[in-house]
Amino acid sequence: MHPLLRIIGIFFVFLATLVGWLTLAGVTDARSRESQSTLRDEVGSLWGNAQTQAAPRFQLQWPVEVTTKKDVTDALGNVVSTRLETHTETRTSDVDPASSTLAVDLQLDERRRGLLWFPLYDVAFDGTWTYEHRELVPRTLELSFEYPDRNADYDDLHFVVDGADLARDLRAADGRTTSRMTVQPGQIVTLRVAYTSRGADSWSYQPSVGVGQLEAFALTMTTDFDAVDFPVPGRSPTSKEQATGGPGWTLHWDYARVVSGVGIGMIMPTHIQPGELATDLSVSAPLSLGLFFLWIYVLGLLKDRQVHPINYLFIAGGFFAFNLLFAYTADRLDIEWAFTLSAGVSVLLVTTYLRLVVGSRFALIEAGIAQVLYQVGFAGAHFADGYTGLTITVLGIVTLFALMQLTGRIEWSSALGKKRLEPAKP
């Protein structure tokens, strides 16, 4: 077969496989999106959603008599007199707490449904706030605490005002619990709220509405996982210590007085999403196949073991089997086991086939090692976030160096020309 025709045939095999991979990527992505839209609501209703706990609202209220003028008109609409009317209005003013001391414990509990992992968690919240009444006259103080998720459950709830737990007597309305009391000049009021709940994806605390001033603020957060990540915008902890004897961190946010408008929170870590990984592997697979084809073609040229384009078609099928099997086992097996099974099947298909085409040594050594590097190694780099591009770059440079050294003495004009006839035997 003419070398140029062989190259054209290999190129068409590559294009056909490329179309198959892109189709598989589209199907896998559609499956993931469909599962996400369906399962997200189910998991949210069963377990909970992302929670953002707002600081309680301290509001002063006092009555004010207001006098207004009202015109008196006759039957024709003419103003005949004016009278004064007095009524009482309630004025309000939001005040900041004098101190805030909070403790948050997050326990990760990941769950998998189909092609998706959901980073669920249990949260134990315990917050204490104080208010000092600095005005010279008594006022009515309204204490209002809003729960982070109206559809969530709050177990072991405490709503303690100056040592008295009012949780049994108060009723939540519109997702909040409210209590009123009269405060005297110089009086210090303490509010403590504690509960346990469940959520998903992230937990955060919003200390103020907009930009506010925090005095004597202390928040301590403990986790049972090491991979901590903070939402943006948000504040990083002022200090932290890693847990002893197990995974987790103890994080501290301590401020004497700070003006800020951003919250404090934690994004839950999660496993690699099987659906997203299967899609990414299918999209990037043509790179590994292209390098493998190039390697096999050059080695075949050097060892005079030219492989027919039909053989390349079966090799491409062996590579495609890896992604196809992984896409449909990742939602049934652990992702590591699905990857190992798919990689083993693909390598077995290609090496056993090439053993029949070009021989055992070439299939196991030259082709087998190349497939492990180009396909399995490159696909495995997707498990390490941020290393996929670096891996393909290193493999590409190493392959380029090896091919340059192996083909430096080849006369390409002769190698790609018409095959010369062997001289007739006498």
Write down the pLDDT at residue 286.
92
Write down the pLDDT at residue 400.
85
Average pLDDT on 1-22 reads 88
pLDDT at 419 over 60: no
Write down the pLDDT at residue 421.
39
**Which of 201-210, 218-227, 229-238, 405-414 shows the lowest mean pLDDT across its residues?**
405-414
pLDDT at 37 over 50: yes
What's the pLDDT tens digit per position in 141-181? 999 999 998 888 889 999 999 988 888 888 877 788 888 99
Average pLDDT on 202-209 reads 88
Average pLDDT on 5-21 reads 91
Interatomic CA distance for residues 87 and 107, integer angstroms: 54
Interatomic CA distance for residues 324 and 320, integer angstroms: 6
Q: What is the mean pLDDT of the chain?
A: 85
What's the pLDDT tens digit per position in 67-113? 777 777 777 777 777 777 787 888 888 888 999 999 999 999 888 77
**Which of 33-42, 112-121, 319-328 shows the lowest mean pLDDT across its residues?**
33-42
Phi, psi (degrees; rounded to nearest 5) at 145: -120, 120
pLDDT at 43 over 60: yes
Question: Which residue intervals of the chain bear CATH 2.60.40?
Answer: 50-61+91-200+202-267
**Which of 47, 196, 21 has the alpha carbon at shortest distance from 113?**
47
Write down the pLDDT at residue 105.
95
Write down the pLDDT at residue 420.
44
Interatomic CA distance for residues 376 and 368, integer angstroms: 11
pLDDT at 426 over 60: no
Interatomic CA distance for residues 154 and 195, integer angstroms: 6
Average pLDDT on 230-234 reads 85
Which position has the higher pLDDT, 273 or 39? 273
Write down the pLDDT at residue 410.
75
Token couple for 176: 């909040």
Which position has the higher pLDDT, 256 or 420? 256
**Which of 224, 268, 269 has the alpha carbon at shortest distance from 246?**
224
pLDDT at 425 over 60: no
What's the pLDDT tens digit per position in 233-284? 888 899 999 888 778 899 999 998 888 778 899 999 888 888 888 898 999 8
**Which of 318, 324, 341 has the alpha carbon at shortest distance from 281?**
324
Write down the pLDDT at residue 266.
93
- Residue 125 pLDDT level (bands cut at 50, 70, 90): very high
Interatomic CA distance for residues 7 and 114, integer angstroms: 42
Domain 50-61+91-200+202-267: state its class.
mainly beta
What's the pLDDT tens digit per position in 339-398? 999 999 999 999 999 999 888 888 888 889 889 988 888 888 888 776 777 887 888 888
Token couple for 286: 């043509």
Q: Mapped to the 3 state alphabet, what secondary structure does the chain carry?
A: CCHHHHHHHHHHHHHHHHHHHHHHHHHHHHHHHHHHHHHHHHHHHHCCCCEEEECCEEEEEEEEEEEEEEEEECCCCCEEEEEEEEEEEEEEEEECCCEEEEEEEEEEEEEEECCEEEEEEEEEEEEEEEEECCCCCCEEEEEEEECCCCCCCCEEEEEEECCEECCCCCCCECCEEEEEEEECCCCEEEEEEEEEEEEECEEEEECCCCCEEEEEEEEEEEECCCCCCCCCCCCCCCEEEECCCCCCEEEEEEEEEEEECCCEEEECCCCCCHHHHHHHHHHHHHHHHHHHHHHHHHHHHHCCCCCCHHHHHHHHHHHHHHHHHHHHHCCCCCHHHHHHHHHHHHHHHHHHHHHHHHCHHHHHHHHHHHHHHHHHHHHHHHHCCCCHHHHHHHHHHHHHHHHHHHHCCCCHHHHCCCCCCCCCCC
pLDDT at 422 over 60: no
CB within 8 Å of 189: residues ≥ 6 apart: 130, 131, 132, 133, 141, 143, 161, 162, 181, 183
Write down the pLDDT at residue 417.
65
Average pLDDT on 186-196 reads 93
Q: Hunting for tokens 């009123």 — which residue is that? A: 180
Interatomic CA distance for residues 125 and 54, integer angstroms: 12
Share of the chain above pLDDT 90, in %: 35
